[in-house]
Amino acid sequence: MWTSRPDGRPDRLLTLADGVFAIAITLLVLDLYVPRGLDADRYQAALHRLLPDLGAYALSVGVLGSFWRDHRRIFRDVREVDGQVIVLSLTGLGVAALVPFPTRLLAEYGDEPVSVAVYAAAVAALGACHLALAAVLAKRPWLRDGTPSDTGSTPYLLESATMVVVFAVSVPLALVTGATAMWLWLALVPVRFVLGRRLQKAG
């Protein structure tokens, strides 16, 4: 059984997280470019070819930005961390740093079922890390000086679990239906809105 032993304040962990998310978002934009020296027709064609890249970029910026915000929110009242919290955080940051790769697959080979499945698997894994982190900290009030946290509440955990389930389900679905599985991701918008409202009321 894992023994929770406080291992210092979370400041360095949060600084590391800020850096990882910032670098991951920066890497997303490196492949957005238009060749130089094009005439008008080829320039227009190049811009048209750039649209999938911009779409994948916008999607991943939204995903990474949302997870960065949630990570800060999870640690809002945390005063100390232990080994398990550090391991879960580092695992999540490792997945976050990987997101530019499936984003590139989605931009270049968005019609390929495997590309959609790999992207969905990465987001589901990142969500699972955050869900586990929130659940662990909710059960260890001594790491937050006994203060309650909204990220340990049922609405928040349910909201996080819903996102993990949706992306996890879309992995096998993408292998069967292809890119149309991405429409399932839109189901998260109303679900997260409703659960977010409930979380605000609970607060």
Q: What is the DSSP string of 111-164?
A: TSHHHHHHHHHHHHHHHHHHHHHHHHHHT-GGGGTT---GGGSHHHHHHHHHHH
Mean pLDDT, rounded, for 144-168: 80
From the list 112, 95, 90, 125, the residue with the least C-alpha distance to 12 is 90
CB 138 within 8 A of CB 149: yes
d(CA 115, CA 21): 22
Provide the mean pLDDT of the chain.
86
Percent of the chain with pLDDT over 90: 48
Question: What is the sign, positive or negative, of the torsion defined by CA atoms of 41, 43, 48, 49?
Answer: positive
Mean pLDDT, rounded, for 114-126: 95
Q: Which of 87-101, 134-148, 178-192 shows the highest mean pLDDT?
A: 87-101
pLDDT tens, 74-110?
998 889 998 899 999 999 999 999 999 999 999 999 8
pLDDT tens, 50-63?
888 899 999 999 99
Tell me the pTM: 0.87
pLDDT (0 to 100) of residue 193: 66
d(CA 14, CA 33): 32
Q: Torsions phi, psi of 27, nearest 5?
A: -65, -25
Split at pLDDT 50, 70, 90, the class of 116 is very high
Split at pLDDT 50, 70, 90, the class of 158 is confident
pLDDT (0 to 100) of residue 103: 95
Q: What is the DSSP string of 69-90?
A: HHHHHHTTT-----HHHHHHHH
Q: Is the pLDDT of residue 2 over 60?
A: no
d(CA 178, CA 2): 41
d(CA 79, CA 11): 9
CB 170 within 8 A of CB 185: yes
With tokens 């911009």, the residue in question is 54
Q: Which residues contact 175 (CB under 8 A, 6 or more apart)?
A: 113, 114, 117
Pair of tokens at residue 177: 């239906």
Question: What is the sign, positive or negative, of the torsion defined by CA atoms of 66, 70, 76, 78?
Answer: negative
